Amino acid sequence: MKKNHLGEKVLVIGIILLVVGTGTFPSTGQSTQSKEMQGTFRDSPLPVEWNRTYPRPLGNSGGNCIQVTPDGGSVIAGFAGWGAWYSFYLLKVDPQGNEQWNRTFESGYTQANWVEVTNDNGYIITGKGCKWIEEEQEWVADIWVIKTDVNGYEEWNWTRLTLYPDYGTCVKQISDGGYIINDIANSNNNYNFSLLKLDAFGTLLWEKTYENKWGFSLVITPDDGFIISGLSEQALLLMKTDENGTMEWEQEFFHDIWPDCRGNDVHVTPDGGYIVGGSTSTYSTSDLLLLKTNESGVEQWHQTYGFSGTDWGTSVALLDNGDYILGGTHLGLQGVAPDRFWLIRTNCNGNVIWSQFYLPLYDARCYCIQQTLDDSVIASGAIDVSTGATCVILKLRNQTGNQPPYAPSNPNPSDGVTDVEVNTTLSWIDSDPNPQDVLAYDVYFGMNSTPPKLVSNQSDWTFDPGTLQYSTTYYWRIVVWDDPGASTVGPLWSFTTGGEENHPPNIPSSPSPADGYLGASIDVNLIWTGDDPDPGDTVTYDVYFGLENPPDIIHHNQTAMSYNPGTLEYSTMYYWRIVAWDLFGHTAVGPVWTFTTIQAPNQPPATPAITGPAEGKPNTAYIYTITGTDPDNADVVSAYVIWGDDTITDWTEFHASGESFTLTHSWAEKGEYLVRVKIKDNHGAESNWTILDVIMPRNLERINPFLLWFFERFNHAFPSLHHLFWYKNPIFSYL
């Protein structure tokens, strides 16, 4: 089978018939059936309203498919890249062809073949992806499907790994929100195609495969089935399936006339039949083709259009009056004559009304053509194909009379938005299919769904409604007029203003302990004052607390204006801060406050120790060592000593806790003496007494221990007995 792939350039040596000056070309095809011409036809081509090219900073681009978008603009799918690396290319333009955005999706040597506008105003794209097959050590083409939002950002994509090349040629969204995709494959030189059903989220639900056929174009029929045009055993294929992909019938055309014939585009006609645009091919020439069938795929007529050489038919548009516009390319001789961007308008029987090469200054090809919202035609393709490629779009002007303006779009505030400022300004975007028309606007605005007209005949795209009410829904509409008097009523939009202006919470204040306070309890509660200037606002607090400045957060989202940090350390400086939040996310950050806790409470010293001789001789000096300790290690201690002989060592100098120091004492007379010692710390707290029994040798009767206790306990009682025993025992002299 001869494979005349779209996009290949065939070199033809021959004479190219050009009608110099007019740029128009006659039909060379013949009708198989003679039909009476219908409708009103022109004998001159539609003039160009505008054409735009979209060069890439690096590499090439082309528009394989174009679709009209609800805003009157267009979306184009194709390729962008250079060398052996190409990407899916998605381009959005406004009604005047000005680029609004473009997106690329990379997967090796890839290109997008088809794009459709989806129910959510996003886009579904299919084409050829590319995967590296490790076993084969080569790149293999695989079908790739991408769903985007209205701004062209990917929402999901679907592909699958096969060991043979396959790619998507067409995709349509069906009534359940899912998608049907035409996927052609070539496995070991056996070609086939499949219908793939994906759900709305890109999950494959079913697949039906048809052997020895390629499907290039797909449309949904009135019974929710599918009609596919393509190629079958070198014949043009037209095949009908039900909604589940089960074949109902197929027809093959022209296999006995041309060795290669294919249907590249198909549409349902108003009579329930089908119109197919495509190409015929011999071994040296090819022509553009139109084929018309009835609802069962039985041919009613066909027409071919071409010159000696190579001509491709790639796309057909069905106009509202029953005419057809066939788009294609007349291939020139490389280096001798350029390729030609060719459009042919016919009546409902395929008879030529006009034929025109457009973009005469370029080496250009036409890949896709569509009818626009203003009943004109827009086409996409590429220019400078022989030296690279640049995406091009051509818009023709409808000369049937004045067209009404496009509906206003892009409202600001956006439709349905909430929390709008009460001092907002309304704005919108609009244009007219007749560029020379001057537009004026009526503004309808109010608080119900039938807003009154506030302004007439203004030229600006903005309107200031003044200060609005809080928490109120407003409705608005724009009616646009052109100067010939045609008008378009825009959609009804709405928005809701926000509540009264929210203020941030009050800055936390009045800290307790006060900022810089000294002597705070180690069990202190942190207390502050907060609140919010907006009645009804709930305020929560984050507590920051610690030993460093700034402190770390230790508790958040509490409603109480107090916090217990637990038992703190004595004599320690702490840092703290409060951050207040309201329900609207506004904050008030308090200052960093400090306080210092009290010193630890003083404890009295322990009972001191005294060591030294317990016996001795009168009038001899003896050294005694005293050791005093204090549980508060930072404290110092002083000693008080009663020697038992009417002498006292008053408070000594202070010594460190645990430090031993010495005192010297002598007794003048023989006897038994009780030495009593106590200590105090630098805070004045005193210890218990320590007693050391010291004997200066003498023949004295030892006092009864009971009497000793008695006189110690009752120091001032019984003075006569006290005197008597003191006289005999000077040990009582200390009492």
pLDDT digits (tens, 9 = 90+) for 497-556: 988 778 899 999 999 999 999 999 999 999 999 999 988 889 999 999 999 999 999 999
281-328: pLDDT as tens digits = 887 789 999 999 999 999 999 999 988 788 989 999 998 878 899 999
Q: At what angle do helices 719-728 and 705-713 cross, to 10 degrees?
A: 130
Question: Which ranges of the chain have pLDDT less than 70?
Answer: 1-44, 83-84, 107-108, 132-134, 136-137, 139, 163, 187-189, 333-336, 386, 398-401, 698-735
**What does the alpha-carbon distance between residue 186 and residue 168 come to, in Å, rounded to a whole number?**
12
**What does the alpha-carbon distance between residue 476 and residue 419 come to, in Å, rounded to a whole number?**
17
pLDDT of residue 20: 24
27-71: pLDDT as tens digits = 333 333 222 323 333 446 788 889 999 988 777 889 999 999 999
CB atoms within 10 A of CB 658: 12
pLDDT of residue 534: 86
HEC per residue, 501-519: CCCCCCCCEEEECCCCEEE
What are the φ and ψ backbone dihedral angles of 724, each rounded to 5 degrees? -65, -50
DSSP letter at 415?
T
In this structure, are residues 165 and 186 in contact, taking their beta carbons and an 8 Å threshold? yes
The residues pairing with 639 across neighbouring beta strands, listed in sequence order, are 679
For every residue of 654-683, DSSP letters joined together read -EETT-EEEEEE--SS-EEEEEEEEEEETT
In this structure, are residues 212 and 232 in contact, taking their beta carbons and an 8 Å threshold? yes
**What does the alpha-carbon distance between residue 116 and residue 65 come to, in Å, rounded to a whole number?**
9
In this structure, are residues 366 and 342 in contact, taking their beta carbons and an 8 Å threshold? yes
User: In what order do the strands lie in the sheet containing 99-106?
Assistant: 60-68, 74-82, 85-93, 99-106
In this structure, are residues 527 and 512 in contact, taking their beta carbons and an 8 Å threshold? yes
**What does the alpha-carbon distance between residue 324 and residue 275 come to, in Å, rounded to a whole number?**
9
**What does the alpha-carbon distance between residue 86 and residue 268 come to, in Å, rounded to a whole number?**
33
**What does the alpha-carbon distance between residue 128 and residue 168 come to, in Å, rounded to a whole number?**
6
Check the CA dihedral 339-29-31-359 and report its sign.
positive
In terms of Cβ atoms closer than 10 Å to its own Cβ (0-12, 13-18, 19+), residue 722 is: middle
pTM: 0.54
pLDDT of residue 615: 92
The residues pairing with 637 across neighbouring beta strands, listed in sequence order, are 655, 681
pLDDT of residue 10: 27
For residue 194, give the nearest of 254, 234, 145, 139 by alpha carbon.
145
**What does the alpha-carbon distance between residue 713 and residue 710 come to, in Å, rounded to a whole number?**
5
The helix (H) or strand (E) run that includes residue 711 is helix 705-713
Long-range contacts of 252-259 (CB under 8 A, 24+ apart): 253/291, 253/299, 253/302, 254/280, 254/302, 258/282, 259/2, 259/234, 259/283
pLDDT of residue 285: 85
- Give the CA dihedral 721, 727, 733, 735, nearest 10 degrees: 0
**CA 93 distance to own-chain centroid:** 24
Q: How far is CA 461 from CA 430, 431, 441, 464, in A?
A: 8, 11, 8, 11
pLDDT of residue 599: 87
In this structure, are residues 102 and 131 in contact, taking their beta carbons and an 8 Å threshold? no
For residue 230, give the nearest of 170, 187, 273 by alpha carbon.
170
For residue 234, give the nearest of 255, 216, 214 by alpha carbon.
255
CB atoms within 10 A of CB 427: 16
Q: How far is CA 447 from CA 160, 409, 493, 732, in A?
A: 53, 21, 11, 109
**Count of CA atoms in the C-beta half-sphere (13 A) of 412:** 11
Q: Give every CB contact of residue 710 below 8 A, 6+ residues apart in sequence.
A: none
Q: Give every CB contact of residue 5 below 8 A, 6+ residues apart in sequence.
A: none
